[in-house]
Amino acid sequence: MEKFDLHDVVRVCETLPKSRRFSAVSGSEFIDIWNDLTEYLESILISQRSTTFPGFGFFHVKRLKKKTGDMERILCPLFFPSRMWGKVPGYDVKRHSSALEGIPAPELFNFSGAASRCKRSRETVDLAMKDLVHALLRILRRGSTVILRFKGIGKLHFRQGTIRFIFSMDFLSNLNGAVSSDKLLLPFDGKRDDRKEPASCSDPPASNAKQRTDMDDQEDKASLTDPPLKLKKLSESLHHGNPPGPTLTRPDSTASQRTIKDDQGYLAVPAGVDTWVGGKNPQVITVEGDNRPFNFLIRSVGTHTHAHSGDRLWNDENCPICRHRSMPIVDLREQRARKEKEQDRLMLHLSLDLDKEFVLKSRANKQAKLETTMSTAEYNRAKAAEKEVIRKTEQHKLPVGNLFEDRELGPDVLVHGRLIAAGLQEQIAANQLKKEHERVQRDYENKVLNQRLSKELSTAEIESHIEKLKRRQQQQDILAEQIRSRQQLQQHSPEPALPNPFARSENLMYLYQKEKAKQLYQEQLAIIKQRREYEARVADMERQHSLDRLTMSRHELEKDLRNMKKANYEQRKSLEAYWTEQLRFKNRLQSKV
């Protein structure tokens, strides 16, 4: 089966048509945005806050109680996929009620903070995420396997209708504050090796653990060099009062930066060995049928019975684990929430101030433009008035004699007349030549048409004469055949005449049948008459109905025309009132200026 990663999803985003894309982000920008978003998501989860990841699901950080009886709790991240993935064929997203029990509603994803981390606008980040989800849906509908790497968190697997999130060891160690690895040791189950299965926090408990182990070993063989130690199921690691839920990933490096090798600690001690290698470690007591150390079977009775506690005679003040456990928990969640709200409020005030400054600047520019326009109009009006005064003054000062002395001389009358006469003669000659040409053309066309008509008439006359001769020959043949047949009949002996069915008969049965035939004929005529009357009545009703509908349509049309005329009249009146008000306003402005 094909396996796709983030680069393949980005390539699918780039191949989408522009009409089906939300953003215009390139491939490298997609990868940068994804890395920045995963880093921002990691910072949120490290701060022990639950949040949604748009389009994928939501993450939750849960505190789990160990089964050894200690009061120490470990932080376990959980991933719940979105119900939107259930629309993909073959994917059934079901959330178990036991897994969601006691989990509060997650916070909404802060796109503003993510956009500031990505150094891009909020809208660009949102649309880029929608494009990635769209491309991922297209790939999953083909039945392919997709593995998305969350930088610093883990991997999200889409495979064979299941969605599983595998958290990385470094993330789990950072989440649990890099405490000692002794705090996270949980009892092993003899039925399976929990150190080899990277169990997911998003799927329900598996029925076939061996099958899942084999699949995950094949998948992660190329990426992981050291197979990390894993936790048991949540039902085995939670307190006996909590219901079973999804499986957890046991971190090997969540307790400390050092790794536990196979030749160190109780992992290297086979069953039946009574002492630890080195001599300083406590004695291991084994039980029949159980290969776990004896200290895992001890319940807390007031002494330091937790694993790797050092000296059992320590008190709570000397034990570093108990001292660390009794330290107060500093919860910065409310402080961060208040700080984010304060930043949002300051950003809102800043945006309002910017909008107010923009409105004031636009008003000032508009007022300055209006004043400039009014001053220009006033200047033009003054200049026009000055020119009008100068023109009227010059007209008054113009002497009467100059009207005839300064006028322009027209063309010579004789020369102009000769030119006009020559032009008219040329036009007359051209018209005559055109008429002669048209007459010759018309005579030729008439001659051709007459010849064609005479030819067609002669052809039609010949065809009619031939048809007449054929018809006459057929008539002669028919008459000759009738004469021949009659002569043949006369040559034979005469046959008795057949009875005439239309002759009068005195038989009573014939009379009865005749009366019944007449009665049936009269009934049929009556039925036909009734049918015709019914059809005529139906036609009259349909005609009347059509006339009524036409009348109603005419009334509605007249009503619509009246309404349109009324609306036009009211609109014209409102425009006239508006124009009058604007003229008054303009006059007031001019008077003020």
Parse the chain into domains and list their residue ranges: 3-260, 266-345
> What is the structure's pLDDT at 502?
67
Residue 161 has pLDDT above 60, yes or no: yes
> What is the structure's pLDDT at 101?
66
Between residues 64 and 552, which one has the greater pLDDT? 552
Between residues 271 and 454, which one has the greater pLDDT? 454
> What is the structure's pLDDT at 570?
94
Residue 351 has pLDDT above 50, yes or no: yes
pTM: 0.34
User: What's the average model confidence in pLDDT over 142-157?
Assistant: 89
Whole-angstrom Cα distance, residue 586 to residue 584?
5
Q: Where are the alpha helices (DSSP H) in 191-300?
A: 209-220, 234-237
Band of pLDDT at residue 334, cut at 50, 70 and 90: confident
Quick: pLDDT tens for 83-127: 888 888 888 787 766 666 667 778 888 888 888 888 888 888 888
Residue 20 has pLDDT above 90, yes or no: no
Residue 421 has pLDDT above 60, yes or no: yes
> What is the structure's pLDDT at 119?
85
Residue 475 has pLDDT above 50, yes or no: yes
What's the whole-number average pLDDT of the chain? Answer: 75
Q: To the nearest whole percent, how much of the chain has pLDDT over 70?
A: 69
Band of pLDDT at residue 434, cut at 50, 70 and 90: very high
Residue 567 has pLDDT above 90, yes or no: yes
Whole-angstrom Cα distance, residue 508 to residue 511?
5
Q: Which residues of 85-97 are buried (b: 16+ CB within 10 A; e: fewer)?
A: beebeebebeeee
Residue 493 has pLDDT above 60, yes or no: no
Quick one: which of 69, 111, 29 has its CA closest to 340? 111
Band of pLDDT at residue 526, cut at 50, 70 and 90: very high
> What is the structure's pLDDT at 277?
39
Whole-angstrom Cα distance, residue 48 to residue 50?
7
Whole-angstrom Cα distance, residue 12 to residue 425?
84
Quick one: which of 214, 220, 117, 211 has its CA closest to 168? 220
